[in-house]
Amino acid sequence: MSSRGILIVTKFGYRRGGAEAVAIDLARLLHSHGWRTAIFAMDFPANAPASPDIPLFTAPEVSIDGSAADKARAARRILGGAGVGAAFRRALREFSPDIVHFHNIHSYLSPEVVRIAAMSGVPTVWTLHDYKLICPAYTFLRAGKVCEECLNNPWAVVRHRCMKRSLAASLLARAEAARWSAKKLQRWTDAFICPSRFMAAQMERSGYNPDSIHTLCNFTTSGIRYEKRPRRPYFCYAGRLSPEKGIDTLLHTVAEAPPEGLTLKVAGDGPMARQLHERYGRCEAIEFLGRLDVSGINTLLSEASFSVVPSEWYENNPLSVIEALSAGTPVAGAAIGGIPELIGDGDGILFEPCDADSLHRAITTAAETAWDHDAIAARAAEAFSPDRHYRRLTEIYRSVIADTAHNDSTSGSIQVNLEN
């Protein structure tokens, strides 16, 4: 073949969140290495071309808001209907990929696209950005606390009203999990990519075949870079202001026992923003910055003494840690989910999640430690580099394509040169 074709599949065709950013950046990375690249996403007004040379194929838009008919159509999409199948078949026919790489697809696209790709004989890879395949509510959280009941009880999502605290939404989530069972998804997917070893272990615990699971940390092209600046007397939190992020625990800890000579700067927005401003806005040790652009985040991290990531849920491969380390900034991180995998010796400190005393000790220790910012940035540049990610990813692609060719004697045409 003269060129290699990859179809990236993601819910939205713009940088709506971290998963979409990873998918779009991956499309650009593959294109820069000579891949013939396209994206398939739901049609949406904010969609934007990843590149003039990367075509965007779309499925009809659905919305959970609006009329009863709109909601019914969105429910059909969750179960694989509402036009997504026809649109995806058209994309496969027109683009003719050698491999399809899925990212977040539930709800707005659905695993129907995985089934169609598999039935078409195209090798399939799926990067998991959340726990949807093993937790119908995505997060392993119930009432703000970690819960794993769904691993052993498929009806737990209904019993506890885990989806939006709604019986109807939770019943739909249960129907979705039954429609797209682990048995089916494993049959249709050649390789699952987990950005953290923690997520890979959770997948294996839930019964997924370890042979199909690969661990590959996300790379970053976010624009955060190491700038050798004087460190100022503050530490920072940069992220979403929502309960599972542990931001209330952090602010309460700082308000109750302000670290001597340091201010906490909080960058971000989210559902708790107003509540947190009202509760802690008058605390002299806390400064709210609101949402910052990439340049603002880069400056914030580059001048901070350290960053804090106090999450209270199973973080997978948090960008907040990756970006801080990329800026040469040590991280005081909660020992939960995939966070400990990112914070090595000399990169920061771990503390017990949901534990204000442990968090306070970590803040004190981080403030008193003489950090080697050059070394932190150098390790991050190697660990999260696009080139390193590309090398490992193409190893996975090569394995998947070889297995597909071996298992189907009629697929001799699926022979792709994966060398640079």
Tens place of pLDDT per residue across the chain (420 aa): 347 899 999 999 998 888 898 999 999 999 999 999 999 999 999 998 888 999 999 999 998 888 889 889 888 899 988 899 999 999 999 999 999 999 999 989 999 999 999 999 999 999 999 999 999 999 999 988 999 999 989 999 999 999 888 999 999 999 999 999 999 999 999 999 999 999 999 999 999 999 999 999 999 876 788 999 999 999 999 999 999 999 999 999 999 999 999 999 999 998 999 999 999 999 999 999 999 988 999 999 999 999 999 999 999 999 899 999 999 999 999 999 999 999 999 999 999 999 999 999 999 999 999 999 999 999 999 999 999 999 999 999 999 998 876 566 454 444 444 444
Q: Which CATH number fits domain 234-381: 3.40.640.10, 3.40.50.2000, 3.40.50.1110, 3.30.70.100?
A: 3.40.50.2000
Report pLDDT for 144.
85
Fill in the amino acid letter for 342: L
Q: Which of 219, 28, 9, 8 is nearest to 106 (CA)?
A: 9
Ranges of each domain in the chain: 5-127+181-219+386-407, 234-381
Q: Which CATH class is domain 5-127+181-219+386-407?
A: alpha beta
Distance of CA 276 to the CA centre of its chain: 25
> Is 234-381 the same fold as 5-127+181-219+386-407?
yes
What pTM, to 2 d.p., does this model score?
Answer: 0.90
β-strand pairing of 141-142 with 145-146:
antiparallel
Strands 124-127 and 191-194, sheet pairing:
parallel
In angstroms, the CA 180 to CA 166 distance is: 21
End-to-end CA distance of the chain: 14
Q: How far apart are CA 376 and CA 344, in angstroms?
A: 9
Structure tokens at 70: 């709109």
In angstroms, the CA 9 to CA 92 distance is 11
